[in-house]
Structure 1
Amino acid sequence: MPDTRLIDTGAARLRAMVEAPVEGQMQRPLVLMVHGFPEGWYSWRHQFGPLVAAGHTVAAMDVRGYGGSDKPEAIDAYAMAETVGDVIAVADALQPDAPVVLVGHDWGAPIVWYSALTRPDRVGAVAGLSVPFTGVPNRPFTEIFRRAFTDRGRFFYQEWFQEPGPAEREAEADVRGYLRRLFYAISGDAPPGAWPEKPAGATLLDGMVDPDTFPPWLEEPDFDHMVAEFESGGFRGPLNRYRNHERDFVWAQAWRGRRIEQPALFIGGTRDPASFGFGAFGDPLAVMRPHVPLVEGHMLEGCGHWTQQERPAQVNAILLEWLARLPSGVRAA
């Protein structure tokens, strides 16, 4: 089991689980992993052993609002500027004298992409799972998804998340049932239609099914751990991340025209709607390359949204091979 570190950034106290190689083993750069919604550090449980065995100190943090990290009430406490600041503060605490490697999944992917873009002095290489980096936006994401979905009378989950209150009540009424339905609906094991088309105004769970048998990649003890974290901490903080699109847009404009120049990796799933921008594009790598020129990519056939949990062996093999080819010391751009 990794060691627990509580890191006080001055803005928040954050829990990071950390495991280092044995003394005398080759020491490679710190790999700091950042989770998405609705997850936690535990979603990276399969990555610790192989990466530590390869000589890396490995850390997985709870993003603010989750697990053992602070859970401020204010919506603007979850802006991208704040979460990027948290990641850099954890990196500074764990490896202050050299750049780190960041790996993120789901919301963790935009967080690490923007960490690499805005702090190339601290991020030597970056990997994103599920969500590609498409550059500094020309308009807030709320405007994009409303034009594509809401204005056409179609449900989009991030619209449902915008108003504080209803989405929290739906999730917290039955945390176990909520997570089972959501994890299953966008996994590679779910049949077509498990993530249903429905009208604007529906709730997230409308039309979703609770499978009789859950796919074997999420075993009951692991699922119990995740359920307990959300039963304790609730969903307000995690959902507040979605309520900062306009604020994030304004903040990101300071880096318009800048590219992520560090070595980069993208891993997506052919059955993950997030890897294709929910239908906005067909090839995530083609969309990324103008903004991340050194990116290399892997699409996992049949994999759904929960990349590193659904396909841990494949993800670990890709990460290890990529990490082994990084420049010595992972020099920053």
Structure 2
Amino acid sequence: MHQFKTPDFKLVDAGQAKIRVAVEGEGPLVLMVHGFPESWYSWRHQLGPIAQAGFTAAAIDVRGYGGSDKPRDIAAYSMENITADVAGVAKALQPDAPAILIGHDWGAPIVWNSSLSRPEAFKATAGLSVAYSGVPNRPFTDIFREAFTDKGLFFYQAWFQEVGPPEAEAEADVRDFLRKFYYGASGDAPAGTWPIKKHGAPLLEGMVDPGVFPAWLTAADLDYYVGEFTASGFFGPISRYRNHERDFEWLQQFKGRKLDMPTLLIGGDRDPAFNGFGRIADPGAMMRQHVTDLRGVHVLPGCGHWTQQERPDEVTALLVPWLKGVR
């Protein structure tokens, strides 16, 4: 495994927000975007090898996280605003050429939609965990209410809608929250670890702390995340989930537009987000309807949701040749 070293940090004025970026190496810009509840640090295993392959490897803290700005307005966390941050960082770090994007979890829709909305600013896009499904026909809130809430079932994104209780639950014991959330969505957790419960239950009810955590997240790694979220809180990170209707409205202007650039998809076969919580039979086939140049669909056996952390070497070995082919 690549020996991790601390990257250089830059605070970049992205236009609407100041965004912290971890940067390593020189060459064409590869900008990495994390998901929930993570940080630039989720790319710690990829930064060095991508830099060594001849690129400027850069990983942001999404607004609301870590060292980036943390507005107190829900609408500040819309896809429109966050894609503007991504474009602003890319322009600041590499003003004269389009950048390459890689995103995981929420970072995947963020990079897909950054490239969809600003095709001139980005030349290739890779997504981990979440396939590109095109401009939505309805807000995701409609989908999860139909599948879960209307049946009286708990769904974490429904729990995140009300401001206050989700933040309070996560912030009461950040380490406990992160351990249970990370473990529950990992490939190490046995089936049924993510409990089936009634709508209105809190997120952590019935969730498991494994005692000995899987080796892919060390005590030092967890300490770093705990420090970041203890300082930042969870309002910004959770508010990403409170913008589904706003995102839907913004994206309608791009209806009919395909992602016309090289793309790549990597997921784990134990990741519930990869198949859209059971809604998508074949993520690659779905994606091919909306992109023109899909250069690979890689499904990692036994891998859960935290793709590039659970399987760092495999993910890096897939990303680097793809990057060299699109540079």
* TM range, smaller chain: over 0.9
1:41-95 alpha-carbon deviations (Å, 9 max, x no partner)? 0000000111111101110000000000010000000000000000000000001
Q: Which residue of 1 aligns with 2:85?
A: 86
Which runs of 5 or more structure 2 residues have no equivalent in the other structure? 1-5
Q: Counterparts in 2 of 1:41-52, with a 5 A limit? A: 41-52=40-51
Instruction: Count matched residues.
Output: 321
Runs of 4+ in 1 over 6 A off after TM superposition: none
Shift of 1:128: 0.4
Deviation at 1:18, TM superposition (A): 0.7
Shift of 1:10: 3.1
**Which residue matches 1:282?**
281
- Distance, in Å, in 2 between the alignment partners of 1:275 and 1:293 is 20
Match of 1:62 in 2: 61
In the alignment, the residues of structure 1 paired with residue 153 and residue 321 of structure 2 have an alpha-carbon distance, to the nearest angstrom, of 41
Q: Give distance in 2, aligned partners of 1:94 and 1:195.
A: 40
Distance 2:89 2:25 in 1: 15
CA distance in 2, matches of 1:199, 1:281: 24
* Partner secondary structure for residue 276 of structure 1: coil
Of 199-208 and 162-171, more deviation after overlay is shown by 199-208
Corresponding residue SS for 1:278: coil
Q: Distance in 2 between matches of 1:138 and 1:292?
A: 17
Task: Determine the C-alpha separation between the residues in 1 that align with 2:7 and 2:259.
Answer: 31
Partners of 1:206 and 1:284 in 2: CA distance = 30
Q: 1:2 aligns with which of 7, 10, 13?
A: 7
Deviation at 1:287, TM superposition (A): 1.0
Matches within 5 A, 1:3-22: 3-21=8-26
| SS at structure 1 position matched to 2:127 | strand
Question: What residue in structure 2 maps to residue 36 of structure 1?
Answer: 35
Other-structure match for 1:24: none
CA contact (8 A) 2:112 2:127 kept: yes
Whole-angstrom CA distance in 1 between matches of 2:308 and 2:15: 31
Aligned-residue identity in percent: 62
Counterpart in the other structure of 2:312? 312
Q: Secondary structure at the match of 2:21?
A: strand
Partner residue in 1 for 2:134 = 135
C-alpha distance in 1 between matches for 2:151 and 2:131: 25
Write out per-residue CA displacement over residues 195-237 of structure 1, whole angstroms, 9 at most, x where no aligned residue: 1111111111111011110000001111100000000110000
Report the residue type matching 1:10 in the other structure: G
Q: Contact 2:30/2:55 (CA < 8 Å) preserved in 1?
A: yes
> Within 5 Å, which residues of 2 pair with 1:257-268?
257-268=256-267
Q: TM-score, normalised by structure 2?
A: 0.97
SS in 1 for 2:75: helix
Q: What secondary structure is seen at the aligned counterpart in 1 of 2:275?
A: helix
Question: What secondary structure sits across from 2:231 in the alignment?
Answer: helix
Q: Distance in 1 between matches of 2:64 and 2:119?
A: 26
Matches for 1:1-333 after TM superposition, within 5 Å: 1-21=6-26, 27=27, 29-295=28-294, 296-326=296-326, 330=327
> What is the TM-score of this pair, normalised by structure 1?
0.95
Q: Which amino acid aligns with 1:4?
A: F
SS in 2 for 1:279: coil
Contact 2:77/2:243 (CA < 8 Å) preserved in 1?
yes
How many Å separate the matches in 2 of 1:258 and 1:69?
31
Can you give the 5+ residue segments of structure 1 that lack an aligned partner in the other structure? 22-26
Q: Given that residues 79 and 110 in structure 2 are in contact (C-alpha distance below 8 angstroms), is that contact kept between their aligned partners in structure 1? A: yes
Give the RMSD, CA atoms, in angstroms.
0.8
Structure-1 separation of matches of 2:232 and 2:129: 25
Would the aligned equivalents of 2:33 and 2:102 in 1 still touch at CA under 8 Å? yes
Q: Deviations over 1:270-325 (max 9, x none)?
A: 00000000011121101111001312210000000000000000000000111122
Amino acid at match of 1:217: W
Could you report, residue by residue, the CA deviation over 1:156-204 in whole angstroms, capped at 9, with x for unpaired residues? 1000000000100000000000000000001000111111111111111
CA apart distance, 1:9 = 2.4
SS across alignment from 1:275:
coil
